[in-house]
Structure 1
Amino acid sequence: MTHYDVLVVGGGTSGMMAAISAAESGAKVAVVEKNKMLGRKLLVTGNGRCNVTNNRDKEEIITHIPGNGRFLYSAFYQYDNYDIMKFFRSNGIALKEEDHGRMFPTTDKSRTIVEALKRIMEENKVEIFLNAPVDTVLYEEGKSKGVRLKDGRTLLASSIILSTGGRAMPKTGSTGDGYQWAKKAGHTLKPLYPTEVPITSDEPFIEARVLQGLALRDANLSVLNKKGKAAISHRMDMIFTHFGISGPAVLRCSMFVHQVMKRDKTDRATMMIDALPDKTINELRQEIAQLIKDAGDKSVKNSLKGMVPERYLLFGLEKLNIEDGTPLKQLTHAQIDSVIEFFKDFRFTVNGSLPIEKAFVTGGGVNTKEVNPKTLESKKMQNLYFTGEILDYNGYTGGYNITGAFITGRVAGMHAAQAALGIGQ
C-alpha cells in the first residue's frame, strides 16, 4: 500500500498549489481528483482568461474579501499576491495588468495557467490520480491517516489537505464533497450561501420584463438595511434581466442581500440605484433649470434622455405619471424633484439570488475559528489541512478568490510537508 508524506484531495486551484508547495518543501506528494482532468474550475475563471491575482497591496486585497478576509492575514504574511506573480513569471508565464489591478496571462488563456501548474507538478514528481473520487477520509486516534477511494483503493499519508472547493459551479466538480469529511473530523460548518451571483426580484416591472437587457454604466448600487442605511454600495456596471439584476455591481452586492435578509429576519431586501453618482441633487436641479431656460419647449423625453439611457428615463417617467411628450418647462417643481429623486435614489425590493449552483463563489463553509490561521491545520484533527473555498471566507470577483486559493494552498502545502517530514516541529 502506497504511503505519501502529503496527500491533496482536489486538483483545483488551491489543491495544485498545495501539491507544488509540499513537493518543493521535500515531501512525497499525491493529488486525488475526481474529474478526468485537473483545474476544471480554473479553466472557466475570468471568462476563460484566468484572472490569476490582483496587483494591489495586502490591505486592499483583504478588504476585497468581505467574507471573513481577516482570517487570511497570517497566510498573507507568509505568501502574498506579489509572490504569486513571481511564481508564474519565474516559471515562464508572462502576466499583464488590466483594469482594477486584475492580472492575466498575456496569452489570455486559462489553459496557459493550468498547463503551467501541471508541468511544475510533474517536475516535482507529484503523483496524480484522475477519475479518482474519494469515498471517505480516514482518521485514527485524532490524526488524519489517508483516504479510501470509491474504487476501494486506500491511500495512506502523514498529512492530508482538503482542497475540495465549495458548492458553486458544480459542473466543474465543486459539489461540496469536502464538507462531510470536515464534519467527520469534528468541524462545524457555517451555513452555505451563494455569493458573486445574480440577484432575483419579483417586482412587477421585473416580472413584466420592462427593463430586461438594459445596462446602466457606472451606477452606484446599494443594499439597504431595515433602517434604510446602505449595508454596502458598489459603483460599477449593472444590467436588468428577466429574473432581476446582474452585472459586476450586482455580483458584489449579492452576499450582502443574503446577510441583510438574514439579519433583519425578512424575505425581502431593498436596493437603491443612483444612476448619476457624479452629480449632486443641486447640480441636477441647476442643469434642468438651464435646460428649461435654453430649450424649455422641448419634450421631457428629448430634454433628459442624454442624462440616463432613454429606456430607463421612460420607465421613470411612467412611474411618476409624467407624459414623456410634456414640454419640459411645464413640469412643476415637485415633478422635477421627483425626476431627480428617480435618477439619484430609485428603490426596489429583491428577494434573494439565483441558487448556489449558479454562483461563482460559495459563502460559508468550515468554521475558521477551528483552523489555525498560520498553518491552515485543523484544530480538531492533527495533520489535516484546509485550503480555498471549503473554508468560510469569500471574496469578490476580480482575482480575489483565486488569490485566496493560491495563498492558502501554498501555506498549507508548506506546513503539511514540514509536519509530515518532522521539520521545525
Structure 2
Amino acid sequence: MKLFDVIVVGAGTSGMMAAIAAATAGSNTLLIEKNKRVGKKLLLTGGGRCNVTNNRPADEIIAHIPGNGKFLYSAFSQFNNYDIMEFFESNGTHLKEEDHGRMFPVTDRSKTIVETLFNKLEQLGVTIYTEAKVEKILHKDQQVIGVALEHEKIYAPCVILTTGGRTYPSTGATGDGYKLAKRLGHTISPLYATESPIISEDLFIRDKTLQGLSLRDVSLAVLDSKGKTIVSHQMDLLFTHFGLSGPAALRCSSFINQELQKNNDLPVTLSLDIFPEKEKSEILSELQSKLHEHPDKTIKNALKNYIPERYLDLLLEQLKLVNTPAKQVTDLQLEQFVQTTKGFLIHAVKTLPIEKSFVTGGGISLKEVNPKTMESKKIGGLFFAGELLDINGYTGGYNVTAAFVTGHVAGSHAAEIAEYTYLPLDEM
C-alpha cells in the first residue's frame, strides 16, 4: 500500500508551489501530473519569458484580480508576491522588474522558473509521478483518504487539487479538476473566458477597415444594457480581422462575457475614447484651430496627423464628412466629431473561447472554500489552489501570483492537518 501525507494533483504553477510548501513543512509529498513534464503551461506565460509576479503592494495586486480578488486577503497575509520574489532569489534565480511592476527572470526564459521549482521539489524529496491521471478522489465519512489512478490507489489524509482551468488544452488543462470536485459535491461557478480577444460583427470589422491598426494609450469601456460604464481600461488597443485585441481589450473581456451571460448573449456595447486625457472642450478648440489654419483643405487633410489616418477616415465616413472642405464644417458637425473621438461605439458579440484565452473565469465556488487554508468546507483534507478556484486576474503577473499564493497556503495547511489526521488503514 502506497501511503503519503499530502498528494498534489497537477504540477503547474500552484501545484508545484503547493508540493514545495507541504514538503518544506515536513510532509511526505506526492505530486501527480498527467503530462510527461511538469510546468507545461508556466512555460508559455509572459510570452515564454514567464511573468512570475508583480512588484506592487498587496492591495494593488488584489485590485488587479477583478474575479474575486478579495478572497485572497487572508492568503496574502501568509504568503505574498514579495515572498514569491524571495523564494526565487534565495534559490538562485534572479528577477528583474519591467513596466507596470511585472517581474521576469533575468534570463528571460520561463524554463528557468520551471527548473527552479523542479530542482526545489527534488531537493525536498517530493515524489513525482508524470503521465499519471487521477480518476477519482477517495473519501470516507466526508474525509479524504487518497486518490485512484487508472491501475492503483494511493492513500493520504490530504489531497490538493491544482489541475488548472480550461485554457490551453494542449497543456493538459481540460477541466478534470472541476469534474473531480463536482463528484464530491462542490459547486462550479459557470466558466467563461477572461483575458481574451474580443469578437465583433460590426461592418468596419467585417470589412477589415482597421485590421492591424494599433492605438496607443486609449480608453476602452464596457457598457451595461442601460449605457452605464461597468469598467474602463486605459491601455493600448489593436484592431484585428475579427475584432479587438491588445491589453485594453483583454482586460475588458471578462466583463463582456459576464454581461453576455446576464443578457442572453445580446451584443455588449463598448465605447472607445482615443483622447482619454483630454476634455471635449480641449479637443474642440484644437480642431477649430486646425480647420481655421487650412480652410480650403478637406477636413480629412486639415486633420492629418491629429488622429491615425485610417481611424480618422472611418470617423469621417460615419459622419459623412470625408470630402467636406474645412470651412464648410458646421459647429454641430464638429461637436458630433468630437463625440465620436471620445465615445466611438463598438459591439462585442463574444470573445475567443476559453481554450484560446489566457485565463479561465469561474470555477470552484469560493463559498465552499476556507480562505485561510484553501481547504474544502465540504470534505476534510481536500484543498484547492490556482486557476481551478473562481478567481481570475488581469495579465501582468497577477494570475501567476494568485496561483503561487494559493498553492503555498494550501500546501502549508495540508501539511499541518496531515500531521494529526488518522487514516483508517485497517478498513481500506
* Map of 2:333 onto structure 1: 335
* Map of 1:290 onto structure 2: 289
Percent of pairs identical after alignment? 54
* Map of 1:104 onto structure 2: 104
Give the Cα separation in 2 of the matches to 1:367 and 1:213: 39
> Residue type of the partner of 1:171?
S
* Map of 2:222 onto structure 1: 223
Give the Cα separation in 2 of the matches to 1:303 and 1:421: 76
> Structure 1, unaligned stretches of length 5 or more?
none
SS of corresponding position for 2:5: strand
* Map of 2:46 onto structure 1: 46
> Residue type of the partner of 2:292?
K
Give the Cα separation in 1 of the matches to 2:58 and 2:28: 32
* Map of 1:304 onto structure 2: 303
User: When the two structures are superposed, what TM-score results if normalisation uses the length of structure 2?
Assistant: 0.96
Counterparts of 1:265-280 in structure 2, within 5 Å, are 265-280=264-279
Give the Cα separation in 1 of the matches to 2:98 and 2:352: 29
SS of corresponding position for 2:252: helix
Question: Are 2:267 and 1:261 aligned?
Answer: no
Shift in Å, 1:147? 1.3
Shift in Å, 1:293? 2.7
> Residue type of the partner of 2:199?
T
* Map of 1:128 onto structure 2: 128
Shift in Å, 1:299? 2.7
Query: Contact 2:291–2:303 at 8 Å: present in 1 too?
Result: no
Shift in Å, 1:266? 4.7
Deviation string 1:215-243 (CA, Å, 9 cap, x unpaired) is 11111000001121110000111111121
Counterparts of 1:370-389 in structure 2, within 5 Å, are 370-389=368-387
SS of corresponding position for 2:156: strand
Counterparts of 1:25-40 in structure 2, within 5 Å, are 25-40=25-40
> Residue type of the partner of 1:316?
L
Deviation string 1:321-351 (CA, Å, 9 cap, x unpaired) is 1124x33222111221122111111012111
Counterparts of 1:38-77 in structure 2, within 5 Å, are 38-77=38-77
SS of corresponding position for 1:197: coil
SS of corresponding position for 2:244: strand
Deviation string 1:29-83 (CA, Å, 9 cap, x unpaired) is 1100000000000000000000010111111111110011111111011011111
> Residue type of the partner of 1:269?
V
> Residue type of the partner of 2:414?
A
Counterparts of 1:190-209 in structure 2, within 5 Å, are 190-209=189-208
User: When the two structures are superposed, what TM-score results if normalisation uses the length of structure 1?
Assistant: 0.97
Give the Cα separation in 1 of the matches to 2:415 and 2:2: 17
Give the Cα separation in 2 of the matches to 1:308 and 1:113: 42
> Structure 2, unaligned stretches of length 5 or more?
422-428
* Map of 2:426 onto structure 1: none
Give the Cα separation in 1 of the matches to 2:303 and 2:222: 27
* Map of 1:237 onto structure 2: 236
Query: Contact 1:225–1:264 at 8 Å: present in 2 too?
Result: no
Deviation string 1:339-381 (CA, Å, 9 cap, x unpaired) is 2111111012111111111111011111011011001000110
Shift in Å, 1:303? 2.2
Deviation string 1:54-113 (CA, Å, 9 cap, x unpaired) is 111111111110011111111011011111111111111111111111011111110000
Give the Cα separation in 1 of the matches to 2:263 and 2:183: 33
SS of corresponding position for 2:74: helix
Of the structure 1 ranges 300-309 and 4-13, higher mean CA displacement relative to structure 2 is found in: 300-309
* Map of 1:93 onto structure 2: 93
Give the Cα separation in 1 of the matches to 2:320 and 2:293: 25
Q: How many aligned residue pairs are there? A: 421
Give the Cα separation in 2 of the matches to 1:118 and 1:266: 43
* Map of 1:179 onto structure 2: 178
Give the Cα separation in 2 of the matches to 1:323 and 1:295: 15
Query: Contact 2:18–2:412 at 8 Å: present in 1 too?
Result: yes
* Map of 1:418 onto structure 2: 416
SS of corresponding position for 1:238: strand
SS of corresponding position for 1:40: coil
SS of corresponding position for 2:157: strand
Give the Cα separation in 2 of the matches to 1:370 and 1:81: 25
Give the Cα separation in 2 of the matches to 1:118 and 1:217: 39
Query: Contact 2:298–2:322 at 8 Å: present in 1 too?
Result: no
> Residue type of the partner of 2:219?
N
SS of corresponding position for 1:258: helix
Give the Cα separation in 2 of the matches to 1:78 and 1:204: 51
Give the Cα separation in 2 of the matches to 1:301 and 1:71: 51
SS of corresponding position for 1:352: strand
* Map of 1:393 onto structure 2: 391
Question: Are 2:6 and 1:6 aligned?
Answer: yes
Give the Cα separation in 2 of the matches to 1:127 and 1:238: 45
Shift in Å, 1:265? 4.2
Shift in Å, 1:308? 1.7
Deviation string 1:374-395 (CA, Å, 9 cap, x unpaired) is 0100011000000001111110
RMSD: 1.2
Of the structure 1 ranges 74-83 and 302-311, higher mean CA displacement relative to structure 2 is found in: 302-311
Give the Cα separation in 2 of the matches to 1:95 and 1:291: 48
Of the structure 1 ranges 128-137 and 368-377, higher mean CA displacement relative to structure 2 is found in: 128-137
> Residue type of the partner of 2:405?
I
Give the Cα separation in 2 of the matches to 1:350 and 1:301: 28
Give the Cα separation in 2 of the matches to 1:121 and 1:336: 65
Of the structure 1 ranges 202-211 and 294-303, higher mean CA displacement relative to structure 2 is found in: 294-303
> Residue type of the partner of 1:289?
Q
* Map of 1:355 onto structure 2: 353
* Map of 1:24 onto structure 2: 24
> Residue type of the partner of 1:133?
K
Shift in Å, 1:302? 2.3
Give the Cα separation in 2 of the matches to 1:362 and 1:44: 15
Give the Cα separation in 1 of the matches to 2:19 and 2:265: 44
Give the Cα separation in 1 of the matches to 2:265 and 2:411: 42
